[in-house]
Amino acid sequence: MNTQDFIYKTPQLLPDLGSYRAEAPSNIALVKYWGKYGEQLPKNTSISYTLDNCKTKTEVVLKKRIEADDQFHFEVYLDGELKPAFKSKIETFLKRIETYTPFLKSFEFEIHTKNTFPHSSGIASSASGMAALSKCFMAMENSVKPELTDEFISKKTSFLARLGSGSACRSTGGKLVVWGKHQDIEGSSSFFGIDYPYEVHANFRAFQDSILLIDEGQKQVSSSIGHDLMHGHPFAEQRFQQADDNISKLKSILSSGNFDEFFALVESEALSLHAMMMTSSPYFILMKPNTLEVINKIWELRKSEGVQVGFTLDAGANVHLLYPNASSARVRKFINEDLIQFCQGEKVIHDQIQF
């Protein structure tokens, strides 16, 4: 499928007034995306687990037909409250996708959105948010073009979401999603995410992700600034190569079911992402002292009891504790007895990946 195929070539076809709803989950990357070029294209391939519980639910209401001009006429509401501050990011997104969704300019519309996780929790809602919004736009297109195939809808939804927030293209479908063209992953593309196309060992198909909220504050560095700092970064090329090599390594781990190799790779990915921020110019440390306390406790538990558990991090201080269902009882006890003291307000969000 060519990305030219995603252009909306019949602008005279407009969806009906009314409500279009969708929901999309959050995702957690095992091999991280950090660095982009062109229009939101990734410098390396990434792969993520799709979470079951952390979701954004969105409704777009087309309220009134208008004569299209060079503006978008919309308002954004979070939990029923008008949020003018959210408009500019969404407007940038709408401009980027204009040739793919030209009908939006012919309406006054409202975007109503809510998350199943607390907005201030430090969990990025941009991936699930942009994914849910893209699904609403595709529902509009599908309503006037019922002949669209499922394959087209899923690829174009992910394609649109990518233009909102890169990692959002891994939140529009599938449980283990790859984004970025890679020689070892058939069908992979830098334009949209695809469902991981190979067999996954049962060990990795029933996993828990307990998100330890170390710091609920605003992120110090937005991901767009972070991606930009990879331009001219002294270790950028090595990092992109490392990530692409890790995709190949992870492919064989996912098939063999080896937990030790899995955690070694996933933890190294998380620390490499943070190493990039610590060595950029300007430099940042996004981990907090409690992030390191938690990491050391995880390593101690693994060493002393051989429990299958590991961690990953996003571009922030929170720790995602990853473990197979079989380790659940021990890890839940570990969280309650040894880790909860390091979480702000003792907050933990338990999520899971099952497929």
Q: Does 32 sit near ligand PMV (CB under 6 A)?
A: yes
Q: Which is nearer to ligand PMV, 43 or 155 (CB)?
A: 43
Q: Which is nearer to ligand PMV, 60 or 270 (CB)?
A: 270
Q: Which is nearer to ligand PMV, 107 or 207 (CB)?
A: 207
Of 66-105, which residues contact ligand PMV (CB under 6 A)?
A: none
Question: Given the rule CB under 6 A, which of 102-110, 163-171, 231-239, 285-293 is the region that contacts ligand PMV?
Answer: 163-171
- DSSP single-letter state for residue 11: T
Q: Does 280 sit near ligand PMV (CB under 6 A)?
A: no
First to last CA, the chain: 27
Chosen residue from 165, 188, 203, 208 binding ligand PMV by CB under 6 A: 165
Find out whether the peptide bond into 282 is cis, omega within 30 degrees of 0. yes
Question: Given the rule CB under 6 A, which of 85-93, 161-169, 200-208, 241-249 is the region that contacts ligand PMV?
Answer: 161-169
Chosen residue from 44, 115, 121, 167 binding ligand PMV by CB under 6 A: 167
Strand stretches in the chain, DSSP E: 18-31, 36-37, 41-42, 46-65, 73-78, 81-82, 107-115, 176-179, 193-195, 206-212, 310-313, 319-324, 348-354
> 251: which residues sit within 8 A by CB, 6+ positions away?
184, 185, 198
Chosen residue from 29, 54, 153, 213 binding ligand PMV by CB under 6 A: 29
Q: Is the dihedral of CA 233, 238, 242, 243 positive or negative?
A: positive
Helix or strand run (H / E) with residue 168: none
As given in the structure block, the two tokens for residue 60 are 């777009």
Question: Given the rule CB under 6 A, which of 18-26, 30-38, 113-121, 150-158 is the region that contacts ligand PMV?
Answer: 30-38
As given in the structure block, the two tokens for residue 180 are 């970025």
Question: Given the rule CB under 6 A, which of 9-17, 27-35, 151-159, 296-304 is the region that contacts ligand PMV?
Answer: 27-35
Q: Does 315 sit near ligand PMV (CB under 6 A)?
A: yes
Taking every pair of Cα atoms in the chain, the longest distance, rounded to a whole number of angstroms, is 68
- Amino acid identity of 152? F
Q: Which is nearer to ligand PMV, 111 or 169 (CB)?
A: 169
As given in the structure block, the two tokens for residue 24 are 């999309």
Chosen residue from 101, 126, 134, 190 binding ligand PMV by CB under 6 A: 126
Q: Does 314 sit near ligand PMV (CB under 6 A)?
A: yes
Q: Does 223 sit near ligand PMV (CB under 6 A)?
A: yes
Phi/psi region, residue 35 (left: phi>0; alpha: psi -120 to 50; beta: rest), is left
Chosen residue from 8, 33, 74, 137 binding ligand PMV by CB under 6 A: 33
Binding site for ligand PMV (CB under 6 A): 29, 32-34, 46, 126-127, 165-167, 223, 227, 273, 314-315
